[in-house]
């Protein structure tokens, strides 16, 4: 909340804008799956009148009207649903078009572990249920701690050097991303240098030089990675230390939302299966 503003009236979003929310919004649209999941984890799913095309958890949101994604949001579709508030990640063109139509937007950054727990409480405050936000944040943090402890108790050995591929461009999850922070809590070492940012686009030769022990890639790439120039020499490829996740598990791991403990479980199970 903006200092000096009346409670529930003005909040600063991650574009630095002060957004006035005089009344608790009852018609909400989320344009990012992780934001949808946070709203529902706060037990406020009933406020949603639409989501992005990829929101599919919990199951109840699958039947809601879909308004596209960040890069192809349907401005007309959003306007037709008459939302009180639209929650989305940084997409300035979409924000400008919606605001021009008088549709209130709130931009939320979702890259780091800290973003997730902070956003839980921010969204709860926007919806007028701050107590639910504090309780959910505490639950997420407690579940993460217990999952980390359980995973470390069953896996020994040196810290594996890990490469997590977001897509085949290749974009990777760096150590300061929420995925990188989860891997760090599991005792893994990220091959990506911290100064490259949370989700950098890498030169493929960089990955060859870093020679990770474990790789986590998309299912569509598992049959092709050995054909990438020089990648047959990478230890993870040579020794078949590569994890792919089901579509459902991939959703959990790549969404910075309330299921962080589940993501830890999935990543930890991968490391137990394939790490040297």
Distance of alpha carbon 53 from alpha carbon 73, whole angstroms: 9
User: Which residues have CB under 8 Å from 197's CB, separation 6+?
Assistant: 174, 176
Closest CA to 59 of 273, 251, 269: 251
Task: Compare 148 and 92 and report the one with higher pLDDT.
Answer: 148
Q: Strand (E) positions, the chain?
A: 10-12, 18-20, 28-30, 48-51, 85-88, 105-107, 161-167, 171-172, 189-190, 214-216, 242-243
Distance of alpha carbon 120 from alpha carbon 257, whole angstroms: 8
Find the mean pLDDT for residues 72-88: 96
Q: Taking 80 as the threshold, does the pLDDT of residue 77 lie above it?
A: yes
Q: Taking 70 as the threshold, does the pLDDT of residue 86 lie above it?
A: yes
Which pLDDT tens digit goes with each residue over 217-253? 999 999 999 999 999 999 999 999 999 999 999 999 9
Q: For residue 27, count CB atoms less than 10 angstroms from its CB and return exposed for 0-12, middle for 13-18, buried for 19 or more.
A: middle
Q: What is the pLDDT of residue 155?
A: 79
Q: Taking 60 as the threshold, does the pLDDT of residue 124 lie above it?
A: yes
Which tokens is 63 given? 């039947």
Q: What is the pLDDT of residue 22?
A: 76
Lowest mean pLDDT among 31-45, 85-99, 112-126, 165-179: 85-99
DSSP 81: T
High-pLDDT (> 70) share of the chain, %: 96
Got the DSSP string for 113-172? HHHHHHHHHHHHHHTT-HHHHHHHHHHHHHHHHHHHHHHHHH--SSPPEEEEEEETTTEE
Which tokens is 206 given? 């960089």
Cα angle 23, 25, 27 (rounded to 5 degrees) comes to 145
High-pLDDT (> 90) share of the chain, %: 88
Which pLDDT tens digit goes with each residue over 11-70? 999 999 999 987 889 999 999 999 999 999 999 999 999 999 999 999 999 999 999 998
Find the mean pLDDT for residues 69-79: 92
> Which domains does the chain show, CATH number per domain?
10-136 (3.40.50.1980), 156-274 (3.40.50.1980)
Distance of alpha carbon 152 from alpha carbon 142, whole angstroms: 16
Q: What is the pLDDT of residue 246?
A: 94
Q: What's the predicted TM-score (pTM) here? A: 0.94
């Amino acid at each position: 909340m903006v200092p000096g503003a009346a409670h529930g009236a003005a909040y600063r979003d991650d574009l630095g804008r002060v957004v006035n929310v005089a009344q608790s919004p009852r018609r909400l649209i989320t344009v990012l799956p992780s934001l949808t999941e946070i709203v529902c984890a706060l037990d406020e799913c009933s406020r949603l009148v639409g989501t992005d095309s990829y929101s599919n958890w919990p199951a109840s949101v699958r039947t809601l009207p879909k308004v596209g994604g960040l890069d192809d949001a349907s401005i007309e579709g959003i306007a037709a649903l008459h939302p009180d508030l639209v929650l989305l990640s940084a997409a300035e063109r979409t924000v400008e078009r919606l605001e021009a139509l008088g549709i209130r937007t709130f931009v939320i950054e979702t890259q780091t572990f800290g973003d997730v727990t902070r956003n839980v409480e921010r969204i709860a405050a926007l919806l007028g249920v701050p107590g639910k936000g504090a309780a959910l944040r505490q639950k997420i943090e407690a579940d993460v701690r217990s999952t980390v402890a359980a995973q470390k108790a069953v896996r020994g050995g040196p810290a594996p050097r890990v490469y997590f591929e977001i897509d085949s461009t290749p974009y990777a999850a760096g150590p300061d991303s929420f995925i990188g922070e989860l891997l760090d809590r599991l005792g893994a070492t990220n091959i990506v240098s911290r100064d490259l940012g949370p989700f950098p686009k890498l030169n493929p030769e960089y990955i060859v030089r870093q020679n990770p022990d474990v790789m986590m890639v998309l299912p569509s790439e598992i049959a092709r990675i050995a054909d990438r120039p020089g990648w047959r020499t990478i230890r993870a490829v040579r020794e078949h230390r590569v994890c792919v996740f089901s579509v459902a598990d991939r959703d959990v791991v790549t969404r910075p939302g309330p299921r962080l403990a589940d993501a830890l479980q999935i990543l930890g199970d991968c490391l137990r299966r394939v790490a040297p």
